[in-house]
Amino acid sequence: MALGIGGPPLRRKGKPLRATSPLPCAAPCPYLAAMIPLPPALADWFAAQGWTLHPHQRQMLDLAASPACLLIAPTGGGKTLAGFLPTLAELGAAPAPGLHTLYISPLKALTADIRRNLRRPVEGAGLAIRVEDRTGDTTFTQRRRQRADPPHIWLTTPESLALLLSYDDAPRIFAGLRRVIVDEIHALAESKRGDQLMLSLARLATLAPGLRRIGLSATVEDPPALARFLAPDCRILQADPGPDPDISMLETEAAPPWAGGGGRYAIPAILDQVRAHRTTLIFHNTRAQAEIFFHDLWLQNTDNLAIAIHHGSLAREQRDRVEAAMTAGQLRAIVCTGTLDLGIDWGDVDLVIQVGAPKNVKRLVQRIGRANHRYNAPSKALLVPANRFEVVECHAAFDAVRAHTLDGDPRGPGPRDVLCQHILATAAAGPFDAGALYAEVTTAGPYATLTRPDFDACLDFVATGGYALRAYDRWQRLMLRGGQWTLRDPRAAAVIRQNLGTIVDTETLKVRLKGRMGTPLGEIEEAFAASLTPGDTFLIGGQVVRYEGLREMTVEVTRQPGRDPKVAVFSGTKFATSTLLTQRIMGIFAKKTWPELPPHTARWLALQREVSQLPQADRLLVETFPYEGREHLCLYGFAGRNAQQTLGLLLTKRMEDAGLAPLGFVATDYATLIWGLEPVTDVAPLLDAANLRDWLEGWLAGNAVMKRSFRGVATIAGLIERSHQGRRKSGRQATFSSDILYDTLQKYDPTHLLLAITREEAMRGLVDFGRIEEMLARVQGRIDLIALLRVSPLAAPLLLEHGRVPVAGAGQERLLAEAAERLLAAAGLA
């Protein structure tokens, strides 16, 4: 059967071509003549399965010789196999030993999944190709064996690759490497993990000249930028995007609540949907919400539908069980978080439910793609707004998906803390020449514009700490010997390896059932564990457990079914709503009526317009009102959570200086609510654009957000060591807080490299000052200050929001003093 490039994909009737149902190609395939032929045994095996290639899969074979290629295909487009085809073709039936292809995915689970999927055709066709994975979970013995005798196809993660490259035998291991495949590169490119990976690829290219690169990506807004990220000269291959998704809002009997997340109100309707579909993925934005939702779901799951939970805080054993059950088709639904955003194949998912507003259209589109994991069939998705405001947000997201607009903020150049770590890891592998390393680093996409002075500053930091106070010889981690930089103490290499990686987690503790060899249940944040007293109950893995005590840094619990849990607080990523989405929300506000919205939401908006006004794109609405004895100010900046948070910090600082005695604030994606003792009568001076930036400069230095960014930067750059479970002694902290280092540097060495990196990162990320300036530019001083006698409909949900931030200042000290006095009095000690 002959097929032209670009023709319709051929596949067996009813059997989609996708990652779990490996490849392709009924033999004889005439078009194969034009490219590298697949090994006959493999082609026969494909033929026996009745599979043919998608056009983009064929093109990947055509492009096998090109130095770099980025394939952009929707979920279900068989892109992972497209990436492997050239390798399978080149290896043939009986390849010589030696590493040929390195496959890198952002998830450990994904490498295991790919190994299973790849083994089927390899073993089915009787090919002598060795496929193995290597992740943090690989046993010590196996790792050692792999380094001595690597497989043909090695599946790994960016962190494991960085680790491999930090050993002195890396040149030998990778010398024969022919190809590297980066899967889900769109996800990696959004974080420092991607920057680290590109530095590792630059290293690999030096060790293995002629190395070819393949990047596999879901739909993204700017393919050329992603191609530049992957390689200097990179082809882009776009697969047919497939039909539009079938997306709608879940209809529920109960109206969504005013505030909060979780979507508990929608559980009956969600259960109906689960019943009506084969397999449903239920996405949540945070782990904590997924846990709570899962618990509540089971309380109402009277039919005992097989529903499981999957997120990154669960123990590996737990996740493995869920993944196995899912692959075996035993589950009707799975409650999950971003861990499942990436391409693990779950079999026959026919519905995706997103609980909570998606915050970002691109991510929504990628999640929706998980349903009907088959090419050229529309994906089916339902959105469940978690609260009244999210109803509007979900509608804005629909409109954007229908209009095919994707959002995404371009990333700046590669962060220098990652470079510092890379330099350190390079030194762990052996002596290096600074000029050669600089040249190599600038071949990595994110570091293409790195200047030599910037590189040298990073090298200086790694070598000596880079302090203005020049210390002595002993203050050196690297020394220059015979023109080459080398570790002063080779034993330091072990510590450097332990600290590799760019994911800086909050400190967590393992949770186990009490008893000898108690079952591991997962991990909780150390701060949350510290707040527990024996007898407290919390949720983990969907079960309610009772806190029994802390033993050797492990939280011991017992099962406690049927009790009301104290809620577990996981570090769920909080995404800020994208600029694109907020613009669309403003668009909805601007309408006269809202027939497309549910009546409860339309009434809410109409009431807001009646008593105050609805926020408009080119104006800034600020409301003031008294509530429970405090003066409140609500500022609808629609600048995203981080920027609204910064605005809260900045404004409360200004208000404190002005004697308005602010006590605290809370920020959401669309507004900041501030409360205090004095009413605000003139808001314009507080928001003067020029002054705002000056205040920011002065205020930023001592700020908690900066300290949080600093902790990550200092950990990645190698200033502070990660604490390892085994090394931590109970009670006595081996280390002190990074805040102290930050304060010290700020005071005695304010131009230090790590402070510069921290600042840069905070301005882009947590501080997000760019969006504040964008908002002020949009508004141009057109501020509507509306003094109300009571809370407005739009502000009411904010009073119920979590995440209230007390103002650190005289007010807080007063509150602490009051609290201490109350405690003393209660204890009879006053």
Partner 1 sequence: MSGYGFSLAGQALVALPSGALHWPAQGLLCVSDLHFGKSDRLARRGGALLPPYETRATLARLDADLEATAARQVICLGDSFDDLDAADRLEDSDALWLTRLMAGRDWTWIAGNHDPGPLALGGSLRAEVRLQTLTFRHIADLGTTGEVSGHYHPKARLAGQARPCFLLDDTRLILPAYGAYTGGLRSDDAVLTTLMGPKALAVLTGRRALALPMPR
Q: Which residues of this chain interact with partner 1, rule CB under 8 A?
A: 464-465, 467, 469, 471, 474-475, 477, 488-489, 491-492, 495, 530, 718-721, 731-736, 740-741, 744-745, 747-749, 752, 813, 815-817, 819-820, 823-824, 827, 829
Q: From CA 202, how far away is CA 440, in angstroms rounded? A: 6
CB of 715 to partner 1, least distance (A): 10
In DSSP terms, which residues pair with 156 in a beta bridge?
A: 104, 134
**Whole-number minimum distance, CB 721 to partner 1, in Å?**
6
- In DSSP terms, 622 is beta-bridged to 635, 785
CB of 700 to partner 1, least distance (A): 19
Asked whether the beta carbons of 293 and 355 are under 8 A apart, the reply is: yes
Hey, which bits of 677-790 come out as E strands?
A: 783-787
Instruction: Considering the complex, state which of residue 758 and residue 792 has its C-beta at the smaller distance from partner 1.
Output: 758
Least distance from partner 1 to the Cβ atom of residue 499, Å = 9
Spell out the alpha helix ranges (H) of 125-252: 140-148, 158-165, 170-174, 185-188, 192-207, 223-230
H/E run at residue 422: helix 416-429
Residue with smaller CB distance to partner 1, 527 or 590:
527
Tokens of 314: 């669960």
- State the minimum distance, in angstroms, from the CB of residue 467 to partner 1: 6
Q: Give min distance, CB of 466 to partner 1, in A.
A: 8
List Cβ neighbours of 418 (8 Å cut-off, separation of 6 or more): 192, 195, 196, 199, 502, 716
User: What is the closest distance, in whole angstroms, from the C-beta atom of residue 492 to partner 1 in the complex?
Assistant: 5
Q: Look at residues 395, 776, 788, 360 and name the one whose alpha carbon lies nearest to residue 575.
A: 360
Of 128 and 740, which has the nearer Cβ to partner 1?
Answer: 740
With the CA atoms of 255, 258, 260 and 264 taken in that order, what torsion angle do they form, in degrees rounded to the nearest 10? -20
Given the complex with partner 1, which of 80 and 738 has the nearer CB atom? Answer: 738
Cα 47 to Cα 780: distance, rounded to the nearest angstrom: 65
> Tokens in use for 495?
């510590």
Q: How far is the CB of 582 from partner 1 (least distance, A)?
A: 31
For partner 1, the closer of residues 65 and 824 by Cβ is 824
Nearer to partner 1, 94 or 824 (CB): 824
Residue placing its CB nearer to partner 1 in the complex, 478 or 660: 478
**Nearer to partner 1 by C-beta: 42 or 493?**
493
Q: How far is the CB of 199 from partner 1 (least distance, A)?
A: 21
Which pair of tokens denotes residue 425? Answer: 């890891």
- The Cα-based distances of 112 to 106, 118, 218, 285 in angstroms read 12, 10, 20, 25
Q: Which is nearer to partner 1, 58 or 752 (CB)?
A: 752
Instruction: Pick the closer one to partner 1 by CB: 47 or 569.
Output: 569
Indicate the residue among 145 and 481 with the shorter CB distance to partner 1: 481
Rounded to a whole number of angstroms, the minimum distance from the CB of residue 816 to partner 1 is 6
Residue 666 has which token pair?
């809370």
Distance in angstroms (rounded) separating the CA atoms of residues 715 and 464: 16
Burial class (CB in 10 A: 0-12, 13-18, 19+), 688: middle
Nearest CB to partner 1, comparing residues 744 and 780? 744
Between 62 and 721, name the residue whose CB sits nearer to partner 1.
Answer: 721
Nearer to partner 1, 410 or 828 (CB): 828
Count of other CB atoms within 10 angstroms of residue 575: 18
Alpha carbon distance 301, 561 (integer Å): 15
CB of 570 to partner 1, least distance (A): 17
Min dist CB 434 to partner 1, Å, is 18
Could you give the CA distance from residue 197 to residue 500 in angstroms, rounded to a whole number?
12
- CA 5 to CA 32: how far, in whole Å? 12
Q: Which two tokens stand for residue 435?
A: 């000029």
Beta-carbon contacts of 27 under 8 Å, excluding residues fewer than 6 positions away, are 40, 43, 44, 46, 47
Tokens at residue 756, please? 């510069």
In angstroms, give the least distance from the CB of 469 to partner 1.
5
Query: Shortest gap between Cβ of 691 and partner 1 (angstroms)?
Result: 27
DSSP states of 342-358:
S----S---EEEEES--
Backbone region of residue 445 per phi and psi (left: phi > 0; alpha: psi in -120 to 50; beta: other values): alpha
CA nearest neighbour of 124 among 32, 64, 39, 56: 39
